[in-house]
Chain A
Amino acid sequence: MFNKIGFKLIVAVGLTAIITIGVFAYFNIQRQSNALLAEVERHANQLSETVKSSTRYDMLLNQRDRIDKTIISIGSQTEIRNVRILNKQGEIIYSSHKEDVGKMVDKRAESCYACHEANRPLERLPINKRTRIYRIDPDSSRILGIISPIYNARSCWEAECHAHSKDKTILGVLDVTTTLADVDHEIKRGEIEIVIFALAAIIALSFIIGFLVRRWIDKPVNELLKATDQVGVGNLNYTIKDKGNDELGKLAGSFNVMTQKLSEARMQLFQSDKLASLGRLAAGVAHEINNPLTGVLTYSSFLLKRTQDNPELQEDLKVIVRETKRSREIVKSLLDFARQSVPKKNNVNINEVIEQAVSVVENQLTINHVKLERKLDQNLPQVIADANQIQQVFINLLVNANDAIGKGGGIITVSASSLSLSPYGVAQIKRAACPKRHDLVDNEFKIDGLPAIKLKAKFNGNEEIIHLDPVYGRRAHQYLKEVDENKKLNILCPQCNTSMNEENSKCPKCGSPLFSIPVPNESNFEACTRVGCDYQHWESVDEAGKKDYVEIKISDSGCGIPPEDVARIFEPFYSTKGQKGTGLGLAVIWGIIDNHNGTIKVESEMDHGTTFVIRLPLKQK
């Protein structure tokens, strides 16, 4: 829960909101309370000016009773706590609280501090210094006091009472104190409102972000996680539905493409493995079965020759001979199938091969009213291929297409074009020699039908022959014994024991030394000496970049292949034609294409037709 990306995002957004809204609220409260206080201050100041001017006349006439009454009546207002007039000595002369009159005020008391700092009376006091805010005890509400000095004026020393002499500046001080209970209450309310607003905003924001994160991130990410788990356990048919069109949607899309490609690659590999072992098996079986078949065929055909005067026996013997000959043909096709591993390759113009194949089946197509459309790129570069075998492939596919269309007629489209694909996992080491020019390619040992690279490996004093997968990046190496994947091998030439390890270069993946096999006409093929490390580097091939392929598509408008059959059609002995075929056709085709380093795949839609897509590597520039 706390590790979830959604939670983290909510926390991040929440914290940002708390900080910004908190700072905003703090300054807002500050500003509001300052404004309120300033207002109260101005009010109090105005009040003291009012008191001063309303008592001025009475002062000049020295009518103390009237002054008293005025002050008491002003001081009786609820917000006003006290109104006092003090003389210069600090004696309270008038007060709204009668009992205070005549008392002395301590000059160091709070109300006096502004003027009597350092025991020196001030002559002039700026207006902002005249207010003070204090509490009598911590529980009571705040009090605002404002002192307003009463300055000497001409009318004062010229008044009849002659109470003040001319040389005095300040005659006394008017001190008004008002309670701030209401203001404080107002400020408090404002604070609470802003805090509530801030909290509500933060919570609402978090909820909205949470909801959106759930909808836009959590769901698709979980879907992706589920899909990777599925792929992890080997279910490559899993696809992510309703992907959306944001970045995660695009990720899901490319994930789907990746699993599809993986599934195709696995299929090809699987076929390749199966066919390679089946090829060996077929060859072995063919040899073993041909000997007993020879016994049956020789004896039966011999009997047939000898019993020409016995027509009844002849009939039966003919069946035996015929059926044995049929077995012979089946074994022969098995052997043809096993034999494909050595194609005789030449520069081939694929368009010509297609035309030749078409000319073979053309009659058959015309009988079935099948129209053949050619979409051949006339500028196709040449392919290194066994023209015979490739033609066999095309003829087979065309005949299959014709069969799929049936008597009703239809269209077969043959197209050929070129395209580019990346070399990793495709390029093959066709020739390799040790530094002393001993051939390392072992034609006797094949990995997926391709001659392996034969090397001697030395580790812990043991010597062993290993067979390196010739396909760059595929690593289906063959070891005689099981080797621990952390073993670092010393790679030697099996003939002259020259080491091919390069102690100076280190594997960029695991730091083990590399070994390097010279490849004629190409840069050295480098790989990690540690058994389990998958680092391989083949500079010239990488530099050559993407490799070009010729893509041939043969589409028909026939009955299509049921989805459950599509996965199996390249398997040997899998036939949908019943008695008509041996079921070796497509397996043979697959083997031929595989031996040309090419790939073949099929796309089919029931009742709409089937397309076979073949890719053959182009001759390198």
Chain B
Amino acid sequence: MSHIGNILVIDDEQVILDAIEKICGSENYNVEGSLDAKDALEKLEKKKFDLMLCDIMMPEIDGFKFLDEINHRKIETPVIMTTGYSTVENAVNSLYKGAIDFIPKPFTADELLNSVSRGMKYFEIQKRINESSKLNRDTALIYVPCPAKYYRLGYAAWVSVENKGTALIGITDLFLKTIDAVSDIQFFKIEEEIIQGISCLQITSADGLIHSVLAPVSGRIIEINEELSKNKTIIEKDPYFQGWLYRIIPHDLNYELKHLIPCSSDRI
């Protein structure tokens, strides 16, 4: 049986390499492990990978430096960050530096596989975009990028600042394209707090996988999109306007926006 994807795992703990290898191997991924970032960079030179899983806390070159190095070398393989030191800062920082996802340790086999499956989809989409742009086709046919005035955390969640001091939060079309059809959305309640970099929503897709969405900014939820909770398909039709998730009163928008990627930069 042929592999459905090549994954490079970088972690200084052998047991974690083994575990990921086993779990992903059972789903027919080909997994290679590196105990440090240097070894990983060497492996990347020899072989192309579809996805990377990288620990943050590592001796010598840590996960952030590794991300910088990847960007520097223009390696396009998407990276999912993991760390035992799962602080909000680490999560937000990883996503800001170009990682596509962040899985706090310890994680279950399902959490890992869900993230990996999204990562693989993401890689496929990137490949298709590259091919399309080579053929000068409109990439917007593949997914709709988020509006210019929006900000995004990683590629998954967006935030749009409203005039009254409130903000809207939603998920990107790209994220929706990396998962199967949405079958259920588990919202937080009104008045609950969401914190930047910490899960604020769970989406169950048609294939039964549960995907956590990390909140792009911190704040208090004052409104939940009722239309969306009644009709889940809205989010797929119009993820940026009608398909918003929460209206919140942000706690410290100016500070937190600095760690988000402005969507306007996607269009250059």
B133 at the interface (CB under 8 A from A): no
Contact across chains for A306 and B220 when beta carbons are under 8 A apart = no
B112 at the interface (CB under 8 A from A): yes
Contact across chains for B26 and A306 when beta carbons are under 8 A apart = yes
Instruction: State how many angstroms separate the Cβ of B54 from the closest Cβ of chain A.
Output: 14
Against A, the Cβ 8 Å flags (1 = close, 0 = not) of B1-39 are 000000000000101100110110010000000000000
Contact partner, A286, options B22, B84, B112, Cβ 8 Å: B84
For the residues of A in contact with B, the DSSP-based class is: helix
Contact across chains for A339 and B88 when beta carbons are under 8 A apart = yes
How many positions in chain A have a CB within 8 Å of any CB in the partner chain? 37
A297 at the interface (CB under 8 A from B): yes
- Which residue of chain A has its CB nearest to the CB of B252? A344
B77 at the interface (CB under 8 A from A): no
Complex CA gap A325/B110 in Å reads 13
Against A, the Cβ 8 Å flags (1 = close, 0 = not) of B214-246 are 000010100000000000000000000000000
Contact across chains for A294 and B107 when beta carbons are under 8 A apart = yes
Instruction: State how many angstroms separate the Cβ of A589 from the closest Cβ of chain B.
Output: 16
A495 at the interface (CB under 8 A from B): no
B208 at the interface (CB under 8 A from A): no
Q: Which residues on the B side are within 8 Å of A346 (C-beta)?
A: 251-252
- Which residue of chain A has its CB nearest to the CB of B22? A302
Against A, the Cβ 8 Å flags (1 = close, 0 = not) of B148-164 are 00000000000000000
Complex CA gap A168/B110 in Å reads 159
The answer to whether residues A335 and B86 also contact, given A356-B220, A388-B218 and a CB cut-off of 8 A, is yes
Q: Which residues on the B side are within 8 Å of A298 (C-beta)?
A: 16, 19-20, 22-23, 106-109, 112
A296 at the interface (CB under 8 A from B): yes
A residues 263-320 with Cβ under 8 Å of B? 283, 286-299, 301-302, 304-306
A391 at the interface (CB under 8 A from B): yes
B193 at the interface (CB under 8 A from A): yes
- Which residue of chain B has its CB nearest to the CB of A395? B193
Contact across chains for B108 and A301 when beta carbons are under 8 A apart = yes
Contact partner, B85, options A290, A305, A306, A325, Cβ 8 Å: A290
A360 at the interface (CB under 8 A from B): yes
Complex CA gap A346/B22 in Å reads 47
Q: Which residues on the B side are within 8 Å of A299 (C-beta)?
A: 19, 22
Contact across chains for B87 and A339 when beta carbons are under 8 A apart = yes
Q: Which residues on the A side are within 8 Å of B88 (C-beta)?
A: 339
A466 at the interface (CB under 8 A from B): no
B125 at the interface (CB under 8 A from A): no
Q: Which residues on the B side are within 8 Å of A144 (C-beta)?
A: none
The answer to whether residues A291 and B16 also contact, given A296-B106, A387-B251 and a CB cut-off of 8 A, is yes
Against B, the Cβ 8 Å flags (1 = close, 0 = not) of A356-399 are 10011000000000000000000000000011100100000000
Contact across chains for B251 and A388 when beta carbons are under 8 A apart = yes
Instruction: State how many angstroms separate the Cβ of A305 from the closest Cβ of chain B.
Output: 6
- Which residue of chain B has its CB nearest to the CB of A392? B193
Q: Which residues on the A side are within 8 Å of B85 (C-beta)?
A: 283, 286-287, 290, 335
B181 at the interface (CB under 8 A from A): no
Against A, the Cβ 8 Å flags (1 = close, 0 = not) of B95-132 are 00000000001111110100000000000000000000
The answer to whether residues A294 and B106 also contact, given A288-B84, A344-B255, A387-B251 and a CB cut-off of 8 A, is yes
Contact across chains for A344 and B16 when beta carbons are under 8 A apart = no
Contact across chains for A292 and B87 when beta carbons are under 8 A apart = no
- Which residue of chain A has its CB nearest to the CB of B113? A305
Contact across chains for A324 and B106 when beta carbons are under 8 A apart = yes
Contact across chains for A302 and B86 when beta carbons are under 8 A apart = no
Against A, the Cβ 8 Å flags (1 = close, 0 = not) of B170-181 are 000000000000
Given contacts A293-B105, A294-B13, A302-B23, 12 further A-B contacts (CB under 8 A): A287-B57, A290-B86, A298-B22, A298-B108, A299-B22, A304-B109, A335-B87, A344-B218, A344-B255, A388-B218, A388-B251, A391-B193
* List of 8 A-B pairs having minimum Cβ-Cβ separation, nearest first: A290-B84, A298-B19, A301-B108, A294-B106, A293-B106, A301-B109, A295-B15, A302-B109
12 A–B contacts from the bound complex (CB under 8 Å): A293-B105, A294-B15, A295-B16, A296-B106, A297-B108, A298-B107, A298-B109, A299-B22, A302-B26, A305-B26, A305-B110, A332-B86
